Amino acid sequence: EVRLVESGGGLIQPGGSLRLSCAASGFNVSSNYMNWVRQAPGKGLDWVSVIFSGGTTLYADSVKGRFTISRDNSKNTLYLQMNSLRAEDTAVYYCAREKAIISGVVPFWGQGTLVTVSS
């Protein structure tokens, strides 16, 4: 069974750092596109970052230079290191797998972890 479980969220002061984890089971994170997506309270969905199977990474402009996506293949876990956090980074953060199939892409999301940036 495919499963994604995020952890690491919490309350953090502006300027602080936090590392989110996404433990995967039922598939290998190294063989899929793995994303982070966030949703600010009462707002829509915003893509944050992706790590491709080959290891290349991309970031939304809003987090570039502050966030780093990575994975540990031995632990089958995806990470998001978040530095220089701002109030506008407050959101539920979801990890999402993308599985390529002949007819397209099948996404699969975890349940999310809440990050609150506040003094």
Partner 1 sequence: IQLTQSPSSLSASVGDRVTITCRASQGISSYLAWYQQKPGKAPKLLIYAASTLQSGVSSRFSGSGSGTDFTLTISSLQPEDFATYYCQQLNNFPRTFGGGTKVGIQ
Binding region for partner 1 (CB under 8 A):
35, 37, 44-47, 50, 58, 60, 94, 98, 101, 103-112
Question: Which residues have a Cβ under 8 Å from the Cβ of 10 and sit 6 or more positions away?
Answer: 18, 114, 115, 116
Nearer to partner 1, 27 or 109 (CB): 109
Nearest distance in Å: CB 15, partner 1: 26
Q: How far apart are alpha carbons 45 and 70 in whole angstroms?
A: 21
Nearer to partner 1, 16 or 102 (CB): 102
Q: How far apart are alpha carbons 47 and 4 in whole angstroms?
A: 17
Where in the chain does DSSP place strands (E)?
Answer: 3-7, 10-12, 18-25, 33-39, 45-51, 57-59, 67-72, 77-82, 91-101, 104-109, 113-117
Nearest distance in Å: CB 97, partner 1: 11
Nearer to partner 1, 42 or 74 (CB): 42
Nearest distance in Å: CB 16, partner 1: 25
Nearer to partner 1, 43 or 119 (CB): 43
Nearest distance in Å: CB 115, partner 1: 15
